[in-house]
Chain A
Amino acid sequence: MSFELFSNLVGAFFTLCIFSFLYKDNPFYQAAEQMLVGISLGYGLVYTYNRVFVPYVWQTIIIKHQFVLIIPAIMGMLYLLRFSRKLGWLSRYPIAFSMMGVGMGVPMGIHASILVQMRQAMVPIETVNLFLIFVGTIAVLLYFFFSKAHTGIYGKFVGIGKWYMMIGFGASFGLTVMARISLLIGRIQFLVNDVVINGFLK
């Protein structure tokens, strides 16, 4: 047995372990599920150590002698006190440091989510599609405006927003399903082509 076939068989075994859940919950699925969490966590830890800790903490402090970075490193360690009843409050310091970024979120959020979207919506209405987009955007926004009762002509206009959202949700659902289906096709192609045809039947 070649090493490639062995590797593919391992992948196929775990693929089938996960697929076995389609029949019912079983020990193979449970074991594979926990292994997925364990390996993902180990992968994240090793990568964080190699790509973040070594270059930005270890090398910067020990090799480049930027000893001031001992302060944020100690502050980072305070995260671990989150589980201590007496010293848990110290973990608020690294959390507060990371929450500072919220300040950047205000102007950036206004720019990206509000101003850019508004600029794109306020173009000259030259085609039917542009008119439909403009009406839809206003109707969807008004649908979430609860200070005025959704009754009468206003209620009917707001109702158009609901129709627009239903079409949008349907389109998103369709795209998501197709993405999952393509993943499923990929797994079946792996089992059929890589394991059965190129592995056993070759």
Chain B
Amino acid sequence: MKKTIPLLIVIVGGLIWVVWAFSPHYVLQEVFYNQFYLPWAYASAPFAMLLGVLSLTLMHSNKIKRRAPKWQYSYFFFASFVITCLAGFIGGIQKGGLFMWMFENVQMPMSATMFSLLAFYMASAAYKAFRARSPEATVLLVAAIVVMLAQVPLGVKLSKHLPTISQWILDVPNLASKRGIMLGVGLGSVATSLKILLGIERSYLGGD
């Protein structure tokens, strides 16, 4: 009951999915997929979001309770979460309301800035990591510089051939390496999926 039935659900359901991918039969395409799986998946999915909310709420309330380092900032989390929820649930999600205003003027600027910060850290990390210590590191450095320069006007001014070289790097060696890696990832993910399907890999069920 605790592990066997969930395992059976995965194995039997997974095998039905395998057959579904190969067979155009009405029972599989219409009854199983459209009438059973999709409505059931949509009906159970919203509660996974609640799990995320519960997890973060517990983490921050424990932080406040234990007076963990920087616990005061957890109040900012709760305040912004509650205000956003109230704005959305009471005021609605239409454009012009408080909910969308908060998204456009608080959430969006902050997340864009957060990602733009990475430009500085990537540059400093690259300086530390890329100092051409080996021929391989030099190749990586040169490829990165060529691709970056080719995208700015300065690069084109330096050499009119730079965009062509950059495009060749992206279309030939980059494509070959990505294709090789993609094939490896594909084989690995299929092997892992098969392990789950055959009940060999069970870590997703958790302990006990």
Contacts and interface: CB of A to CB of B under 8 A. Distances in A.
- A interface secondary structure, majority: helix
A168 B46 contact: no
Interface string B163-183: 000001111111111111111
A117 B119 contact: no
Contact of B122 (A47, A109, A112, A177): A177
Interface in B102-134: 102-120, 122-123, 126
Interface in B1-33: 2-3, 5-7, 9-10, 13-18, 20-22
Interface residues of B, number: 119
B187 interface: yes
Contacts of A8: 105
Given A79-B48, A102-B197, A140-B177, A170 B206 contact: no
A78 to B, nearest CB: 8
Contacts of B118: 180
Contact of A106 (B7, B184, B193): B193
A41 B117 contact: no
Contacts of B113: 14-15, 18-19, 187
B156 interface: no
B46 A76 contact: yes
Contact of B49 (A35, A48, A173, A183): A48
